């Protein structure tokens, strides 16, 4: 072979080896590559386009201009729920095609799309197509010993009423069996809650209980990286339809397709986000964090634990902060003395189930700094698990689990009122404790530690304080003038500031209060859960929230089954969380589901609006 032919062969071979797959599969003569072959009338189907939402896809636009896009993901089998949504023209441009959301895992999904296409001559065509798209099985971290399936199986107990039939629920669970959790401890200064580091499960179900989306958290979380450790919590859907949440040292915002909008570290003055993050009606962000370096009155520097609220603007600039150790009394211990140490938030410890701490064990001289129940800055004295903005007077409402108190605080950092049993509050704070009343406005005598209230029932209604509660949300749609409606999940541990003689006497409640902010009174107007007894009891986590679009109350009793921690640790009982919706002000069930066969620890549920995600 001549030298020139050898050289030509080498050049051709090099071009073949360096060519793209598109060029290699190009057919025919001419220069350049040939366009990839599309599916249907437009482009190819790209699965999981942003790498964190495996049950999503984009039908590429194939170079055409698409407008007036509508999508319907057909329901599985005869009883499946179809998911339909319109896609704004700018969202088609954002994704480079038609976003497909809501496919069933490990299933050939039928996806119907309609759109207006302008061809190369500028002529408009109205097109309808059906795509068959296979979505892969769910693949997430498995904890091994106690977990039975990767995600809990939802079972419908009460079928969805037509008013909520098309609704979707984001579920947030955590796994406490991760062996490499708690591998880092803050030092210099001491304290903080960085050891609290569990695997996270986030998915969305329809009202049949079928999974229609999940988050691949392995792409966002790394227990070996300080910046990526922690529990993903505080999921909130923002006004633009996206999802926002936090994870220990960072907070982030992604859209429903998995596209990153921002992913930021906390401002340097703060550490250890957990529990709650929300967008206010002003478009600012409220989150529960802690201080990264706090000088106590005794001269010691500590990292604090779950006792600071910070407000940020949309660009991450700090607008305000509430240091609760300076606003409240971090040495009030009466409720902590009654808490079951076997389940203090997600610190599940069967060895201490049913036990309480002594006053000496809570005090400065004995308790270590860090994520432990104890008094004073640097310990978990407040355990704030929600913060909610009240636009009516530019205030915040917090839920402090370890104080068994719902508290309203103004922009001036002054306490407006305290919804709590009055024991242990002193000075000016004691004056802010609300007085319970019945439906006729008559004062209710709850007795010491609220001992008379749990059984208080007559023709005028009932009342009880909330105990180690989780979430306290303003209901602006029902509030008026000086009457503020508040929804609370009353977990019920330390009820009456004691542990009952028998563990199965415990119960939880979803409850609605009305606070008269002028008269400084509180009235209980609705509750659910007490009648369900110990089976429904959630010692930690959970949520109750008013849903204005359906005029309903959504409740998630997220750790039902965990009441007997020792039996749970022995594998004798399982976690069976319950999700409910009730017509507002009634116990008319619009939906009830329970989640079985997982034993991951439920945190919260969030009803999401799919339509706003693609506007």
> Annotated catalytic sites, by residue?
470
CB 453, CB 446: distance < 8 Å: yes
Q: What are phi and psi of 172, to 5 degrees?
A: -125, 110
CB 467, CB 306: distance < 8 Å: no
Q: Tokens representing 73? A: 């993901």
Of residues 166, 81, 167, 74, the one with CA closest to residue 113: 74
H-only helix segments in 261-353: 324-327
Q: Tokens representing 522? A: 């509180």
Task: Quote the CA–CA distance of 220 and 197 in Å, as a whole number.
Answer: 14
Cβ neighbours of residue 303 closer than 8 Å, sequence gap 6 or more: 186, 189, 190, 191, 192, 271, 272, 290, 291, 292, 293, 294, 369, 378
Residue with tokens 């503020």: 484
CB 506, CB 534: distance < 8 Å: yes
3-state secondary structure (DSSP) of residue 139: coil
Cβ-in-10-Å burial (0-12, 13-18, 19+) of 293 comes to middle
How far, in Å, are 82, 173, 381, 465, 615 from residue 341 at the CA level?
45, 21, 14, 21, 47
Residue with tokens 């957990």: 274
Cβ neighbours of residue 286 closer than 8 Å, sequence gap 6 or more: 276, 277, 278, 280, 309, 310, 311, 387, 388, 389, 396
Which residues are 262's β-sheet partners? 253
Cβ-in-10-Å burial (0-12, 13-18, 19+) of 365 comes to exposed
Q: How far is CA 428 from the centre of its chain?
A: 34
Task: Quote the CA–CA distance of 248 and 480 in Å, as a whole number.
Answer: 37
Q: Is the sign of the CA dihedral 86, 101, 99, 108 positive or negative? A: negative
Cβ neighbours of residue 551 closer than 8 Å, sequence gap 6 or more: 583, 584
Q: What are phi and psi of 371, to 5 degrees?
A: -85, 65
Cβ neighbours of residue 366 closer than 8 Å, sequence gap 6 or more: 360
3-state secondary structure (DSSP) of residue 22: helix
């Amino acid at each position: 072979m001549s030298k020139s032919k050898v050289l030509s062969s080498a050049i051709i071979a090099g071009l073949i080896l360096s060519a793209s797959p598109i060029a290699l599969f190009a057919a025919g003569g001419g220069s350049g590559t040939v366009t990839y072959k599309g599916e249907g009338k437009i482009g190819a189907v790209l699965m999981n386009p942003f790498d964190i939402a495996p049950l999503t896809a984009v039908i590429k636009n194939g170079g055409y201009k698409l407008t007036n896009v509508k999508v319907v993901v057909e329901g599985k089998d005869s009883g499946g729920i179809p998911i339909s949504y319109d896609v704004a023209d700018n969202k088609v441009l954002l994704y480079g095609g038609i976003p497909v959301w809501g496919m069933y895992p490990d299933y050939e999904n039928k996806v119907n799309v309609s759109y207006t296409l302008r061809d190369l001559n500028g002529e408009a065509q109205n097109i309808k197509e059906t795509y068959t798209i296979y979505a892969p099985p769910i693949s997430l971290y498995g904890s091994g010993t106690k977990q039975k399936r990767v995600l809990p199986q939802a079972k419908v107990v009460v079928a969805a009423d037509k008013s909520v039939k098309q609704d979707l629920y984001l579920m947030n669970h955590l796994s406490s069996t991760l062996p490499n959790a708690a591998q880092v401890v803050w030092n210099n200064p001491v304290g903080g809650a960085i050891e609290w580091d569990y695997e996270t499960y986030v998915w969305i179900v329809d009202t049949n209980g079928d999974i229609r989306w999940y988050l691949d958290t392995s792409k966002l979380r790394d227990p070996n990286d300080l910046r990526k450790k922690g529990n993903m919590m505080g999921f909130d859907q923002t006004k633009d339809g996206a999802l926002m949440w936090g994870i220990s040292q960072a907070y982030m915002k992604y859209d429903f397709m998995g596209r990153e909008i921002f992913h930021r570290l906390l401002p340097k003055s703060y550490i250890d986000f957990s529990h709650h993050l929300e967008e206010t009606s002003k478009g600012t962000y409220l989150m529960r964090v802690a201080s990264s370096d706090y000088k106590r009155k005794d001269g010691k520097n500590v990292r604090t634990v779950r006792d600071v609220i910070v407000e940020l603007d949309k660009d991450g600039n700090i607008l305000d902060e509430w240091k609760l150790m300076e606003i409240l009394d971090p040495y009030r211990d009466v409720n902590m003395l009654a808490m079951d140490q076997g389940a203090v938030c997600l610190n599940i410890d069967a060895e201490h189930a049913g036990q309480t701490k002594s006053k000496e064990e809570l005090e400065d001289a004995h308790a270590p700094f860090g994520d432990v129940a104890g008094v004073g800055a640097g310990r978990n004295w407040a355990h704030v698990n929600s913060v909610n903005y009240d636009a009516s007077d530019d205030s915040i409402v917090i839920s402090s689990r370890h104080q068994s108190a719902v508290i309203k605080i103004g922009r001036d950092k002054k306490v407006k009122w305290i919804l709590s049993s009055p024991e242990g509050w002193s000075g000016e704070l004691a004056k802010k404790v609300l007085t319970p009343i019945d439906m006729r406005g008559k004062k209710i005598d709850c007795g010491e530690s609220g001992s008379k209230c749990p059984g208080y029932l007559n023709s005028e209604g009932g009342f009880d304080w909330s105990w180690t509660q989780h979430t306290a949300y303003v209901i602006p749609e029902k509030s008026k003038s000086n009457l503020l409606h508040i929804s609370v999940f009353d977990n019920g541990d330390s009820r009456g500031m004691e542990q009952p003689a028998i563990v199965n006497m415990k119960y939880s409640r979803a409850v609605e209060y009305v606070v008269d902010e002028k008269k400084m009174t509180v009235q209980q107007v609705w509750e659910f859960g007490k009648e369900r007894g110990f089976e429904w009891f959630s010692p930690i986590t959970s949520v109750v929230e008013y849903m204005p679009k359906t005029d309903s109350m959504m409740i998630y009793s997220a750790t039902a089954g965990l009441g007997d921690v020792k039996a749970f640790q022995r594998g004798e009982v399982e976690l069976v969380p319950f999700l409910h919706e009730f017509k507002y002000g009634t116990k008319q069930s619009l939906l009830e589901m329970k989640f079985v066969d997982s034993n991951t620890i439920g945190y919260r549920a969030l009803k999401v609006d799919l339509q706003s995600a693609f506007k």
